[in-house]
Amino acid sequence: MLSDQNLNVNKAMPYDYVFIGMGASNGLMLLEFIKRGYHQTKRIAVIESQHKNTNDKTYCFWSSPNDTIVQDLSSIISHQYQFVQTNTNKVQSIQDQPYYCIKSIDFYNLLHATIASHPIDKFDGQVAYLNPLPDCIEIVFEQQVITGTIVFDSRPPVFTKELHNQSYLLQSFFGYHIRLQDSKLNVDTFQMMNFDVDQSNYTQFVYNLPYASNECLVELTRFGVDTIDIDYAKKILDEKIKAQFGAYEIVAEEEGCIPMTVLKQQASIDKRIINMGARANLIKPTTGYGFKKMHAFAAAFENPAQAPITKARFLFYDHLLLIILIRWPNLGKKIFTALFQNNTIQRIFTFLDEKSGVSEEVKIFASLPIIPFLKACVIYLTSYIKKSYLFTVGCMLAYFLLNLVSPNVAAWFGYTCLIAGLLVVGIPHGAVDHLLLTSKKFNLLKFVVQYLLIIAAYFMVWQWFPVFSLLLFIAYSAFHFGESEMVEMQVSMHSFAQKAYAFALGLSILLLIIFLHLNESILVLNNMQGVSDFVATLNLFQYKNIVIAVSGVLLMPLWWISKKTCLFLVGILLLGTQMPLMLAFGLYFVGSHSVNAWGHIAGKLKIAPKKLYLESLPFNVGALLIFLLFFYLQQTNPQLIQSYAAVFFVFLACVSLPHIILMHLFYKKEN
């Protein structure tokens, strides 16, 4: 970071709106602002790192002629096509949704003129970083600082690729704007995705956009993990153009590359910083189209409910196609050929706009080679859906099947799975607490002594104040479970409301497990010395339905935060109702909480899971010994703690207190 002395800090009032970048998304938003007259009352600034004076791309989209995007941008739409030829199929009419093209230079010139003719401050420079302050956001660029109340950030996203790439490849292209000797082109018709071209073990196709009867843009596009080589593209284009049109001259060249991925750039934690364009995940992973969505996003600025959102099932379809294109790139031609051969262009446009219904989507998938999609589904399920989810749900389903045959075998199987899970991840995730502290003064012996003292002290407190200890255990466990779920869903824990929801989420999970097994829970509680009288006075059964209903409601926001997490949690809680309490709780504890926390620790400390497991071994063994000690105490002094289940919970309570404190500090520090 630069120190304040080196920076030219503009101490004026913060701008109401600051646009970082003036490309497609922010340009469309700025035009929307001008349309709405915001410039008359608001202070607006733009920071752009480039001159934007070359025609570096062509923005194309299909749309109804009455749509606002066509109306808004009519002055710079350079071409529109009423007909399309997909692949080598016959020409189809698209008069209800023509294909429009805008040269980026025309768009940039419109933005330059708009900025020059309105009270908008323009800064040239590369934004280095943003610094959120309580009353404004500082934007630091090229030794300067300006401040803004709302910031539209269109800097390109930075993706962290997955370990085993399932969803990241590139759409790269190289095109010639050419002039033909003869006038052979139909200016009403463009050619989309013509696969009659060398594939070279990638998915490659040609676009052809006529500008005049003797002029067009011919573009070779590759979907692949590598970008297209320019010399190779020139050779292929030359052969293709000569074969199709004969002699030609080159007017201009165009090249580009768009990431194709379902990986997400996270929204900013600070709601005053709004991600835009590619950074807001508005580019469709499998097509690279995003301009129309960016316009819709800008148009919905005052009414976010109308902002375009990608439904989960479309993300799933995109994911399947990306898996196929990465693993079996030569299948791309076969799949797209079938798509265009067996479906009308209207159906395809609606599908790509993510506005189709499920029945239309079934028809589309039925028209495609099914085997690659089934294989992609298997890869998706086994790699994209977390293995722990599959393990947990798999154990539960196997338990139910075995239960039909023999309840004893089912119980044996269920507890074996639970113990295996506890040994593999449940206990180890709490046995690396010594790695969570990174202080230079760290002393392992002192750490272990302090850790054990907290456990022992809490154990004593359990003996003297069992009710208080129980309530405390439930409270901090609730926060801990909720906190790890929030971190897993990449929700920040900065505000009080977020912390409160983490607590509510964890509490609802715990209460659902307890109240959906109320008889067993009461049995366990009754076995804890000093707790049974308290439980008897409460008459928990009279609150059962209300607690379950309220807890269910508290889980609902999960649907909007992470559908996958919501489905998994609700699924295992519901399946758990048909299992004994210990299994229901244990499988949640192992399959969700411990696996998540293990992943957070390994990820943030950048330690390979195997090495982390080795690091956990001494404390793992230590935890097992303490556990055995409890059983020994139970044998030798039955008055102390009377049942195995009670032992299990008291043990968990004591061991988890220092762990929970350390994990909270770890999450807080690493956030």
User: Please, which of residues 19-58 interact with ligand FAD by CB under 6 A?
Assistant: 20-26, 47-50, 57-58
Tokens of 15: 């701008």
Amino acid present at 233: A
Question: Rule CB under 6 A: is residue 339 a binding residue for ligand FAD?
Answer: no
Contact 512/573 with Cβ under 8 angstroms? yes
Query: CA-CA distance, 57 to 103, in Å (whole number)?
Result: 7
Give the range of 73-81, 113-121, 152-160, 632-640 binding ligand FAD by CB under 6 A: 152-160
667 near 483, Cβ under 8 Å? yes
Residue positions counted in the chain: 671
Stretch that binds ligand FAD, among 271-279, 388-396, 546-554, 647-655 (CB under 6 A): 271-279
β-strands 44-48, 137-141: how paired? unpaired
E strand or H helix at 508: helix 496-515
- Rounded to whole angstroms, the Cα distance separating 12 from 20 reads 18
Applying CB under 6 A, the site for ligand FAD has a residue count of 32
Task: State yes or no: residue 59 binds ligand FAD (CB under 6 A).
Answer: yes
Where are the alpha helices (H) located in 556-643, listed in sequence order?
558-561, 563-576, 581-588, 595-605, 609-636
Does position 60 bind ligand FAD by CB under 6 A?
yes
* Footprint on residues 230-259 left by ligand FAD (CB under 6 A): 256, 258
Enumerate residues 160-219 that contact ligand FAD by CB under 6 A: none
Kindly state the smallest distance separating residue 111's Cβ from ligand FAD, in Å: 10
One residue of 33, 107, 223, 291 binding ligand FAD per CB under 6 A: 291
- Minimum Å distance from CB 395 to ligand FAD? 44
Residue 505 CB, shortest distance to ligand FAD, in Å, is 33
* Binding flags for ligand FAD, 102-131, as an x/- string (CB under 6 A): ------------------------xx----
Tokens of 488: 């897993």
Place of tokens 């600082």: 145
Q: Is 290 in the site for ligand FAD (CB under 6 A)?
A: yes
- Residue 615 contacts ligand FAD per CB under 6 A: no
Q: Are 337 and 87 in contact (CB under 8 A)?
A: yes
CB of 350 to ligand FAD, least distance (A): 16
The yes or no reply on residue 285 touching ligand FAD (CB under 6 A) is no
**Cα–Cα distance between 546 and 544 in angstroms, integer?**
6
Comparing CB distances to ligand FAD, the nearer of 59 and 515 is 59
Rounded to a whole number of angstroms, the minimum distance from the CB of residue 139 to ligand FAD is 9
Which stretches of 122-220 are DSSP H helices?
none
Q: How many CB atoms lie within 10 A of CB 405?
A: 9
Exposure of 330 in the CB half-sphere (CA atoms within 13 A): 3
Q: Which of 278, 324, 432, 470 binds ligand FAD (CB under 6 A)?
A: 278
Residues 379-418 that bind ligand FAD (CB under 6 A): none
- Cα 545 to Cα 549: distance, rounded to the nearest angstrom: 6
Query: How many angstroms separate the CA atoms of 576 and 587, rounded?
Result: 8
The reply on whether position 447 binds ligand FAD by CB under 6 A is no
Quick one: 288 or 430, whose CB is closer to ligand FAD?
288
What are the distances in angstroms from CA 550 to CA 501, 506, 512, 543, 607? 14, 13, 9, 11, 40
Residue with the shortest CB distance to ligand FAD: 23
283 is a contact residue toward ligand FAD (CB under 6 A): yes
Q: Does 372 bind ligand FAD (CB under 6 A)?
A: no
Contact residues for ligand FAD, defined by CB under 6 A: 20-26, 47-50, 57-61, 126-127, 154-156, 256, 258, 276-279, 283, 288-291
